[in-house]
C-alpha cells in the first residue's frame, strides 16, 4: 500500500517536472503538424470539427462574427475534443441589388 502511494507520488513528480526546451520544441512541432492537417481537412469539409470530426451543433460552439475591412472571421470551439480555431472569410465578389 505504502509502496503504491510512493509510486503515485513519484509519477506525479514526473508529470509536474518542467519541460525541457527540446520537449517544448517537439511539442510545438507536433502541434504545428496537427494544425496543418486540421487546416487541410477543414478546407475540404468546413462543416465538421477538423480535429475530431464532430458534426453536432451541440459539440460545435460558433462565436460571433468579427472582422475588418477585408476579412471576416468566426472563432469556433469544439466541446467534444476541446480544440479552438478561426474560420476566416474573404471578400470574393460584388453583386448589385435593385429593389425598385
Interface with Zn ion by CB under 5 A: which residues? 49, 51-52, 54, 78, 80-81
State in angstroms the smallest separation of the CB of 45 from Zn ion: 13
State in angstroms the smallest separation of the CB of 17 from Zn ion: 29
Residue number, 28 or 55, with CB nearest to Zn ion? 55
In total, the chain counts a number of residues equal to: 100
Residues with Cβ within 8 Å of residue 33, at least 6 apart in sequence: none
Grid cell of 18 as nine digits: 518542467
Q: Quick check: 77 and 84 in contact, CB under 8 A?
A: yes
Q: State how far the Cα of 26 lies from the Cα of 28, in Å rounded to an integer.
A: 5
Residue number, 61 or 66, with CB nearest to Zn ion? 61
Residue number, 24 or 81, with CB nearest to Zn ion? 81
State in angstroms the smallest separation of the CB of 87 from Zn ion: 14
Amino acid at each position: 500500500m505504502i509502496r503504491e502511494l510512493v509510486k503515485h507520488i513519484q509519477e506525479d513528480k514526473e508529470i509536474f517536472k518542467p519541460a525541457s526546451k527540446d520537449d517544448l520544441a517537439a511539442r510545438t512541432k507536433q502541434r504545428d503538424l496537427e494544425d496543418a492537417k486540421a487546416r487541410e481537412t477543414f478546407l475540404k469539409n468546413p462543416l465538421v470539427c477538423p480535429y475530431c470530426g464532430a458534426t453536432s451543433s451541440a459539440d460545435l460552439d460558433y462565436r460571433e462574427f468579427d472582422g475588418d475591412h477585408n476579412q471576416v472571421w468566426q472563432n469556433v470551439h469544439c466541446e467534444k475534443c476541446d480544440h479552438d480555431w478561426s474560420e476566416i472569410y474573404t471578400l470574393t465578389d460584388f453583386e448589385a441589388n435593385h429593389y425598385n
